[in-house]
Amino acid sequence: MNNDTIFDKIIQHKITADILYQDKFITAFHDIHPKAPVHVLIVPNISIPTVNDVKIHQEFILGKLFTVAAKIAKKNGIHESGYRLIVNCNHHAGQEIFYFHMHLLGGRFLGPLIVPV
Ligand code: AMP
Protein backbone atom coordinates (compact mmCIF):
# COMPACT_ATOMS: atom_id res chain seq x y z
CA MET A 1 0.00 0.00 0.00
CA ASN A 2 1.19 3.54 -0.80
CA ASN A 3 1.49 5.41 2.50
CA ASP A 4 2.22 8.83 1.04
CA THR A 5 -1.12 10.57 0.98
CA ILE A 6 -3.18 11.98 3.79
CA PHE A 7 -6.04 9.67 2.80
CA ASP A 8 -3.85 6.58 3.33
CA LYS A 9 -3.18 7.86 6.83
CA ILE A 10 -6.87 8.54 7.51
CA ILE A 11 -7.85 5.03 6.39
CA GLN A 12 -5.19 3.53 8.62
CA HIS A 13 -6.24 5.78 11.54
CA LYS A 14 -2.75 7.29 11.66
CA ILE A 15 -4.27 10.75 11.60
CA THR A 16 -7.72 11.74 12.79
CA ALA A 17 -10.62 12.46 10.51
CA ASP A 18 -14.35 12.50 11.01
CA ILE A 19 -14.93 8.96 9.72
CA LEU A 20 -18.61 8.13 9.32
CA TYR A 21 -18.33 4.77 7.57
CA GLN A 22 -15.67 2.09 7.23
CA ASP A 23 -15.77 -1.52 6.12
CA LYS A 24 -13.31 -3.96 4.58
CA PHE A 25 -13.35 -2.15 1.22
CA ILE A 26 -14.41 1.46 1.72
CA THR A 27 -13.88 4.41 4.09
CA ALA A 28 -15.97 7.59 4.17
CA PHE A 29 -15.19 10.76 6.10
CA HIS A 30 -16.29 14.38 6.22
CA ASP A 31 -14.37 16.78 3.97
CA ILE A 32 -12.28 19.10 6.12
CA HIS A 33 -13.38 22.14 4.03
CA PRO A 34 -17.03 21.37 3.22
CA LYS A 35 -18.47 23.03 0.09
CA ALA A 36 -22.06 22.07 0.98
CA PRO A 37 -24.02 21.14 4.15
CA VAL A 38 -23.21 17.51 3.36
CA HIS A 39 -19.71 16.98 1.94
CA VAL A 40 -18.33 13.51 2.42
CA LEU A 41 -15.31 11.87 0.78
CA ILE A 42 -15.69 8.19 -0.06
CA VAL A 43 -12.53 6.25 -0.83
CA PRO A 44 -11.49 2.67 -1.54
CA ASN A 45 -9.23 1.18 1.13
CA ILE A 46 -6.73 0.33 -1.59
CA SER A 47 -4.49 3.08 -2.90
CA ILE A 48 -5.30 4.22 -6.46
CA PRO A 49 -3.84 7.64 -7.36
CA THR A 50 -6.25 8.72 -10.12
CA VAL A 51 -9.01 7.39 -12.38
CA ASN A 52 -6.27 6.81 -14.97
CA ASP A 53 -4.77 4.16 -12.70
CA VAL A 54 -7.91 2.05 -12.23
CA LYS A 55 -7.45 -1.62 -13.16
CA ILE A 56 -10.19 -3.99 -14.31
CA HIS A 57 -9.93 -6.08 -11.15
CA GLN A 58 -10.74 -2.94 -9.12
CA GLU A 59 -14.15 -2.41 -10.75
CA PHE A 60 -15.93 -4.25 -7.94
CA ILE A 61 -14.49 -2.15 -5.15
CA LEU A 62 -15.10 1.11 -7.04
CA GLY A 63 -18.70 0.05 -7.67
CA LYS A 64 -19.08 -0.12 -3.90
CA LEU A 65 -18.38 3.62 -3.70
CA PHE A 66 -21.84 4.17 -5.19
CA THR A 67 -23.73 1.90 -2.80
CA VAL A 68 -21.95 3.51 0.17
CA ALA A 69 -22.72 6.97 -1.27
CA ALA A 70 -26.41 6.13 -1.55
CA LYS A 71 -26.43 4.81 2.04
CA ILE A 72 -24.78 7.97 3.37
CA ALA A 73 -27.14 10.19 1.32
CA LYS A 74 -30.13 8.39 2.83
CA LYS A 75 -28.73 8.61 6.36
CA ASN A 76 -28.30 12.37 5.87
CA GLY A 77 -31.83 12.76 4.46
CA ILE A 78 -30.68 14.08 1.08
CA HIS A 79 -31.47 11.05 -1.08
CA GLU A 80 -34.75 12.57 -2.32
CA SER A 81 -33.71 16.24 -2.58
CA GLY A 82 -30.66 15.07 -4.52
CA TYR A 83 -26.92 15.17 -4.38
CA ARG A 84 -23.87 15.16 -6.62
CA LEU A 85 -21.02 12.67 -6.85
CA ILE A 86 -17.73 13.99 -8.21
CA VAL A 87 -14.42 12.32 -8.98
CA ASN A 88 -11.67 14.72 -10.04
CA CYS A 89 -8.78 13.49 -12.17
CA ASN A 90 -5.54 15.45 -12.44
CA HIS A 91 -4.85 19.13 -12.86
CA HIS A 92 -7.71 20.45 -15.05
CA ALA A 93 -10.28 18.89 -12.73
CA GLY A 94 -8.53 20.34 -9.69
CA GLN A 95 -7.46 17.06 -8.10
CA GLU A 96 -5.44 17.94 -5.00
CA ILE A 97 -5.07 14.60 -3.28
CA PHE A 98 -3.68 11.82 -5.43
CA TYR A 99 -5.67 9.07 -3.83
CA PHE A 100 -8.87 8.14 -5.71
CA HIS A 101 -11.86 9.67 -3.92
CA MET A 102 -15.49 10.40 -4.62
CA HIS A 103 -17.05 13.61 -3.30
CA LEU A 104 -20.66 13.35 -2.08
CA LEU A 105 -22.21 16.82 -2.00
CA GLY A 106 -25.72 17.81 -1.04
CA GLY A 107 -28.01 19.52 1.42
CA ARG A 108 -28.57 22.58 -0.79
CA PHE A 109 -29.16 23.39 -4.46
CA LEU A 110 -25.77 22.84 -6.04
CA GLY A 111 -26.11 24.91 -9.20
CA PRO A 112 -24.60 24.03 -12.56
CA LEU A 113 -22.02 21.29 -12.77
CA ILE A 114 -19.49 23.54 -14.48
CA VAL A 115 -19.28 27.27 -13.96
CA PRO A 116 -19.01 29.02 -17.37
CA VAL A 117 -15.78 30.99 -17.80
P1 AMP B 1 -9.77 16.94 -4.77
O2 AMP B 1 -9.63 18.36 -5.18
O3 AMP B 1 -10.83 16.20 -5.56
O4 AMP B 1 -8.44 16.20 -4.73
O5 AMP B 1 -10.34 16.97 -3.29
C6 AMP B 1 -9.57 16.87 -2.17
C7 AMP B 1 -10.47 17.17 -0.99
O8 AMP B 1 -9.84 16.67 0.19
C9 AMP B 1 -10.72 18.66 -0.75
O10 AMP B 1 -12.13 18.91 -0.82
C11 AMP B 1 -10.17 18.91 0.65
O12 AMP B 1 -10.94 19.81 1.38
C13 AMP B 1 -10.19 17.51 1.26
N14 AMP B 1 -9.24 17.27 2.32
C15 AMP B 1 -7.91 17.55 2.33
N16 AMP B 1 -7.34 17.15 3.48
C17 AMP B 1 -8.32 16.56 4.20
C18 AMP B 1 -8.38 15.94 5.49
N19 AMP B 1 -7.29 15.83 6.25
N20 AMP B 1 -9.56 15.44 5.91
C21 AMP B 1 -10.66 15.57 5.14
N22 AMP B 1 -10.67 16.13 3.93
C23 AMP B 1 -9.53 16.63 3.47
**Amino acid found at 99:** Y
Give me the pLDDT at residue 33, please.
98
Give me the pLDDT at residue 114, please.
85
Question: Which tens digits make up the pLDDT trace of 1-30?
Answer: 445 899 999 999 999 999 999 999 999 999
Q: Is the pLDDT of residue 83 over 60?
A: yes
Per-domain boundaries in the chain: 6-93
Task: List the 19-22 sheet strands across, edge first.
Answer: 19-22, 26-30, 38-44, 102-106, 83-86
Per-residue b/e over 25-58, b at no fewer than 16 CB within 10 Å? ebbbbebeeeebebbbbbbbbebbbeeeebeeee
Say how many Å lie between the CA of residue 59 and the centre of ligand 1: 23
Give me the pLDDT at residue 3, please.
56
Where does the pLDDT of residue 45 fall: very low under 50, low under 70, confident under 90, or very high at 90 and above?
very high
**CATH architecture for residues 6-93:** 2-Layer Sandwich (3.30)
> Residues near ligand 1 with C-beta < 6 Å?
6, 17, 29, 31-33, 41, 88, 94-97
Query: Percentage of the chain surpassing pLDDT 90?
Result: 92
